[in-house]
Amino acid sequence: MPESAQPATPVTFPPAFLWGAATSAYQIEGAVREDGRTPSIWDTFSHTPGKTAGGETGDIAVDHYHRFRDDVALMADLGLTAYRFSVSWSRVQPTGRGPAVQRGLDFYRNLVDELLAHGIKPAVTLYHWDLPQELEDAGGWPERDTAYRFAEYAQIVGEALGDRVEQWITLNEPWCSAFLGYASGVHAPGRTDPAASLRAAHHLNLAHGLGTSALRSVMPARNSVAVSLNSSVVRAVSDSPEDLAARQRIDDLANGVFHGPMMQGAYPQSLLTATESLTDWSFVEDGDLALIHQPLDALGLNYYTPCLVSSAASAPAGPRADGHGESAHSPWPAAEDVAFHQTPGERTEMGWTIDPTGLHDLIMRYSRMAPGLPLYITENGAAYDDKPEPDGSVHDPERIAYLHGHLSAVRRAIEDGADVRGYYLWSLMDNFEWSYGYSKRFGAVYVDYTTLERTPKSSALWYGQAARSGALPEVESV
């Protein structure tokens, strides 16, 4: 047999590797007015004309609140071993303060029980962007009190589920909450105040630290507490001093603003200096950094595409190509002298370049930063314009190729010494994609938004085969 005809060496994973999928509450649950739930900032934002594509909302979403048992059975049929979901804060604690609504907690108790009954390991995210509206009315994340309210909420959920859920995540992508929510305004609550976005970032950090302590005060010591960061892989167009300075500026705003205090106990001095035109950071009170710098049991990394920057002085004028939506307001405070470039290569429906090398680079960066800290890829996936065939099946070979490339990058990182213990595909099923409404499909399971019927796509079947075998199946040509 000629060498070129030899079968490829299979890409295999460690036996205990978790094969999961991820969702978030507002994107899938629906039932926004049932069992005591009150509005979150995303209810308010999506009902504000002009804020979402087509004025679409998560009022019904994909009705997971009523269909969760069928959805869990579907996960089990696919062979998933883990499921990461978020808790709706306003479903559990409607005003963001005070006692819990037991009906709201019961939904998550029942979901966890159903997952465990099917042999699927639950991972709970406490905050995936849906702040109770009453807390936003009181000032939201730019206000320090919100962090303390989060700690109370974390304790409530930890007490309710901590005996059965071992994996916990305090915050999902706090960068989006702070800078898309309070600087560029493309996410809820839609504010455009760069100084407020930096205060929000600090109070999200403080919420993580206080929430971590609150969880550990009420849960078994065996439980793992982590955070999921959408840390950017920031690359410079050239090695010129100006472009490297631009890269550092964005790396601080994308990454250092969170991993600095959480993992190293301090904000980068270069960040403080670069933003001094906006704030003196006096909202960082004595003792805050110690509260934030709690030892992590694991770290979640969310990755989609790298970021390419240069000095604005060396770039032609044009729209900001940072992949974070269109707005006249930037999500990058005090970075007006930085230009963002579209990276070359194939793109998803989001316009994001497909580059698995970025995922490998991201994993290795944090593996070096925190040797021995278990890592999980808590989000990774792609949106494509999926459509059913006449027979009702949904074929998405592009997504299969995307997953094969990125999972191969994860495996290379493991070979290079990184302790990566699991992968959560974004997303389990098509859902409400924030300001894009229902126009972008990230799911491995197709959802007919008229009937809400679920149909596993080719990628779901491919991924399920990988989960069952611990090895990546071959990829069809695309």
Q: Which residues pair with 326 in a beta bridge?
A: none
Are 256 and 202 in contact by the 8 Å Cβ rule? The answer is no
Residue 379 falls in the annotated catalytic set:
yes
Which residue out of 29, 114, 143, 379 is catalytically annotated?
379
Q: Is 476 a catalytic residue?
A: no
CA–CA separation, 416 and 360 (whole Å): 10
The candidate with the shortest Cα–Cα distance to 215, out of 160, 175, 266, 264, is 160
Question: Which of the following is catalytic: 136, 173, 398, 433?
Answer: 173
Residues paired with 374 in a beta bridge: none
Helices (H), 39-101: 41-46, 64-78, 89-92
Phi, psi of 377 (to 5 degrees): -85, 100
Q: Return d(Cα 350, Cα 308) in angstroms, integer.
A: 16
59 CA to centre of own chain: 21
Spatial contact of 326 and 186, defined as CB atoms under 8 Å apart: yes
- Under a CB-based contact definition with an 8 Å cutoff, are residues 267 and 261 in contact? yes
Axis crossing angle, helix 397-415 with helix 356-369, rounded to the nearest 10? 30
Q: Which amino acid is at 247?
A: R
Question: Cα dihedral angle (46, 52, 56, 59), rounded to 10 degrees?
Answer: -20
Which helix (H) or strand (E) segment holds residue 236: the answer is strand 234-236
Angle at 34 between CA 77 and CA 204, to 5 degrees: 80
Q: Which amino acid is at 283?
A: F
If residue 225 lies in a helix (H) or strand (E), which one and from where to where? strand 224-229
Q: Which of 103, 106, 89, 243 has the alpha carbon at shortest distance from 171?
A: 89
d(CA 216, CA 295): 11
Torsion of CA 252, 255, 258, 261, to 10 degrees: -60
Which token pair is 241?
């001093």
Angstrom distance (rounded) from CA 124 to CA 298 = 13
Place of tokens 């230009």: 339
Q: CA separation (Å) from 238 to 216, 241, 284, 314?
A: 45, 9, 35, 10
Q: What distance, in Å, lies between the first and last C-alpha atoms of the chain?
A: 26
What 3-state class would DSSP assign to 224?
A: strand
Active site residues: 173, 379
